[in-house]
Amino acid sequence: MVVSYKVKKLGDNDYKFCKKRSMVSVLKKKITIIDYGMGNIESLKNAICKIGCDPNFYSENNLIKSNIIIIPGVGAFNRASELLSKKKINEKIIQFSNDKNNIVIGICLGMQLLFEMGMENGQHQGLGLIKGNTDILSKDDGVRLPNVGWLKTEIAQTENFKFLSKFNQEKFYYIHSFKTNPQNETERIGHAYFNNKKFCSIASNNHNVIGTQFHPEKSGEIGLEFLETIIKHFQN
């Protein structure tokens, strides 16, 4: 099956602007966006600003300046893995995650990179922060990929993630052709359905690493609230 992506650079006009929000609890919280050459980092920056936080960027030439990093990403796992390794950013992220006071958030391809192995265009090493791998979303004949659109997302009723229960059955925006397969079922925090089959939509190591297959920054008001909720929870 051939998977193709059409990626355009999105601007403010591509987003639903949120209503005026009260963000006193996260105001000016510094958040570092990992800039490794894949993903629309400006869109994520805009979303972070909208929830009252202070975004900055990390590449191979500067320092991580906060205790929360977000790994964005659009495209192929193999290329992303290659860039992270070439720029030695993978080593920095792993080192950063070893401090349990630090938080790692992965979005879309960024979530997939949190896992040990990606199976897109061969077998490629991920960050290994969550046990498991990634593979094609569907191998069924006639199924068109990528999966694009708004999907209802179900949140697992787990003790560690009760704070996300208010998002159960909410719709978020997805665009992807691959899915993650957490080795440990307790690390599967949310799921959605594509072609009548369940796939993992939120995963976590149950400590300080969490990833979403959907794009909170492209999911309007509910997506911004989701980001805010995660940041507020982990900064407490």
Active site residue 215: yes
From the list 200, 215, 225, 228, the catalytic residue is 215
From the list 170, 217, 225, 228, the catalytic residue is 217
Active site residue 207: no
Task: In whole angstroms, give the CA distance from residue 81 to residue 50.
Answer: 30
Which of 180, 157, 20 shows the shortest CA–CA distance to 107?
180
DSSP state of 158: -
Burial of 54: CB neighbours in 10 Å, binned 0-12, 13-18, 19+? middle
Active site residue 42: no
SS (H, E, C) 34-92: ECCCCCCHHHHHHHHHHCCCEEEEECCCCCCCCCEEEECCCCCHHHHHHHHHHCCHHHH
Say which amino acid occupies 14. D
From the list 108, 170, 200, 225, the catalytic residue is 108
Pseudo-torsion of CA 102, 107, 110, 112, nearest 10°? 110
- The β-bridge relationship of strands 170-176 and 197-204 is unpaired
Total Cβ atoms within 10 A of residue 196: 7
Which of 186, 221, 190, 226 shows the shortest CA–CA distance to 206?
186
Catalytic residues: 108, 215, 217
